[in-house]
Structure 1
């Protein structure tokens, strides 16, 4: 039987970051896939560079960005000032919607402004502890129903009253009445990701930067975890091997960790959606200068599209297209591909373009549903696991909404706690 002090589950950003920052070489990283990276994998096909979905990096801690860049080629990373749009009634509106209602047709603008001012009249129609209730409370009926509710329902694939009011935390672009009015004369659409970085060879380059500090023999690929015996402190892999551990650091989805640790819980508490991502490469350019577009209307099958070519300065339209589905939905990729191509023409993004190359992947899970129950149960169950030496981190391990930088910081902080013992 193998023995290790730290058994790290998942060779994505969180797991590899922990391996980088812990002051010990007594660890093993288990990865169920044949490649490292998690959802940060990169695909290259016929000259196009795509990720499994749109991964753009918004570093707020210079030391984290420097740590990664020091382990990458000197000219690998490009820095971009974001230009994002919304398609509303076949016209482009600046993002965020709530700060740019003055760009709407006059009737819609007046409706949104009126409902914003008198938002207290409708806020009690919804549960104030829900995400949907928060939207109506802060922005009124017009802004909520024209963009915020339909867009986020497409993204999360659920009723927004099921989500906690702070489900998106700092990532939601809040704005008060004064901000919105001021923006009509003095545009200021800065958000948490106003400037982002992106590697020329895809998001996998950031993963590789972390992996460069982890010896190959420490990463066991195609090794899924099937059981964790919390009493014996022994993990069993899909190949039947047993590994004795002192600590487990897991970035696996929290609900899956509970199953393999055989910890009693109510699985209905931990809900999520999945996302079908198409990567599409065309023979010539499309919209110039735009990095991604939000599409709230139901006539479009997707909720967001992004343009790698406008980020990397290439001469052919290179896109990602994202569609949200309920977690148990059957996804017919061929049928959806045909629908996506038709909808791209309806949106005016694709005209007489020829599709040169494509790729698709289903992210399952994609966005976890953050509710009061999920927060409470995560806190309770993760405390029980930690008493047995099992720590669950990352977006899915922590059942939260966070950035890739947040994952690295969380992994570093956990490593530093162990280093101080």
Structure 2
């Protein structure tokens, strides 16, 4: 089983995507992650997509394998209980504001070796969401044909920030093991986004060129890659990244002679130069459009597979959900019917595989407050009478 983080307990006080993702990844590798929310659920508890009963499919998948404690965080005693849980545990993942009752400095007063991973919007503490940060770094002005900006629906910076926060927390724990010192790691979405742009050469590119990259639609910048339509109306993406793939693609489409003529006319060779294929796409694309448009998708797919050429037809997410290769026969997924929503569907486990270990199956998400009594008893040593008082006074919530 994936128990690499067994013995590590983490309090998660969070909402939306990035912070719950960090907790999810830790839970999938064996950490005991205790999510603390407002009684009745935090601001993301009913986030779409939802069922007819308004149960969030989003929430129950981002919180699999976690425990749930429900507190009234609007009241001092509820906040004090959360602070006590964090100090008793020693690890916190959160996206609460840096200057709040969950500030690292405040919490560390009772736990000097506390490790906090804090996901933020902007580095200066200003709020932001993936969808606004993405605009700030320029990607919507590169997506689509233009001239209007085109937003994408994948919250990429949230997901990267969650993964980075999980990694950063483990790095801070490693430092604590070596030095005995706690620390707070701040992971702003803005820094993850602009840092990723820089790591991929984007900042250097626009400064070097003193210009933005042109809008390319579905073409891949710097490579031979684009969407084409087959004779039977299937739109498919084809991308070439190696000389062998290029040679095999020309053979599969019987384009060697036509491409050689273009090379001779323009004094270039496309065999080993991705950039030249991209630069001369005005001459190459029409050849490929005609050759691909003369074939049915099934036959074309067989030829491309035989040549080791990367391709995929465009499909809907519903198509993907019914694809045996992606879901049905994928050992990452397991049939699951113990969901809080009551809806049975395949659930995803850890993305990484460890051949030496049996894959941990997906776990259920908790109901809000399902573990309040157990956690308060075990972590804080509260008596059953004290817990009952907290429940009666509505400072602590339990699952219905």
- TM-score tier after normalising by the smaller chain length: under 0.3
Select the structure with the greater relative contact order (CA < 8 A; seq sep ≥ 6).
Answer: 1
Greater strand content: 1
TM value normalised by structure 2: 0.25
**Greater Cα radius of gyration, structure 1 or 2:** 2
Select the structure that is richer in helix: 2
